[in-house]
A and B are shown apart, each in its own frame.
Chain A
Amino acid sequence: SAVISQKPSRDICQRGTSLTIQCQVDSQVTMMFWYRQQPGQSLTLIATANQGSEATYESGFVIDKFPISRPNLTFSTLTVSNMSPEDSSIYLCSVDDGKYGLAGTNEQFFGPGTRLTVL
């Protein structure tokens, strides 16, 4: 298993500003993922982040709006840029259970989430 922490746990932001969310894992992992959970909705994958390469974005998500960094094997950031009220969501980081260099069993472990409210 992996222990994942996220900062901040919640924030209230003004329209037009940006927020960077941090995700820290207690072990080196190959794949890190960022999800969005809009109010009352399921989780939607934003992007997959591998260390040393650019993130891969899902349809409907673009790098200019959600830039991602993955500077090492235990850390990633997601920035929500030029925020609007429609960006109010819970943002979750997850990792798969494959240790760096080893295949996993496709299980994912999730962080506690960052609850974002945009006014």
Chain B
Amino acid sequence: AQSVTQLDSHVSVSEGTPVLLRCNYSSSYSPSLFWYVQHPNKGLQLLLKYTSAATLVKGINGFEAEFKKSETSFHLTKPSAHMSDAAEYFCVVSAGNQFYFGTGTSLTVIP
């Protein structure tokens, strides 16, 4: 069975400080893992994906994530938060053609 747990429903950071959004997964297969961002009243945008290549994945807008099999984690990080990063972030595990969404983490950036 596949599932995703996003450990924080809300994260608040100051502008210019690092961002860490945590995600743990469970998968019976070698998983594909994704992070999507959803800005208010906007569609889902892919930030980055892991598909069994390099374990450190770089995405758009300065985000990156590291796949750690031993910890079954795929945490999303960014060295310096920007006001435009305020949004809802979803961690997703894929098995076959099925997508399994985490419950989402709402990121607030304080000026």
Give me the interface of A with B, judged by CB distance under 8 Å. 31, 33, 41-45, 48, 92, 94, 96, 105-113
Contacts and interface: CB of A to CB of B under 8 A. Distances in A.
Contacts of B99: 33, 43, 45, 94, 108
Which among B42, B49, B94, B97 has the greatest number of chain A C-beta atoms within 10 A? B97
Given A42-B102, A42-B104, A92-B44, A106 B90 contact: no
Interface centre among A42, A44, A105, A109 (most CB of B within 10 A): A42
Looking at chain B's contact residues, the main secondary structure is strand
B90 A43 contact: yes
Interface string B100-111: 011110000000
13 contacts: A31-B97, A41-B104, A43-B99, A43-B101, A44-B101, A45-B98, A45-B99, A92-B44, A94-B99, A106-B32, A107-B94, A108-B94, A110-B36
Contacts of B101: 42-44
B32 A105 contact: yes
B104 A113 contact: no
Interface of B: 32, 34, 36, 42-44, 46, 49, 51, 90, 94, 96-99, 101-104
Contact of A106 (B42, B43, B51, B104): B51
A113 B42 CA distance: 8
Given A42-B104, A43-B90, A107-B49, 20 more contacts: A33-B99, A41-B103, A41-B104, A42-B90, A42-B101, A42-B102, A43-B44, A43-B99, A44-B101, A48-B97, A92-B44, A105-B49, A105-B51, A106-B51, A107-B32, A107-B46, A110-B43, A110-B44, A111-B43, A112-B42
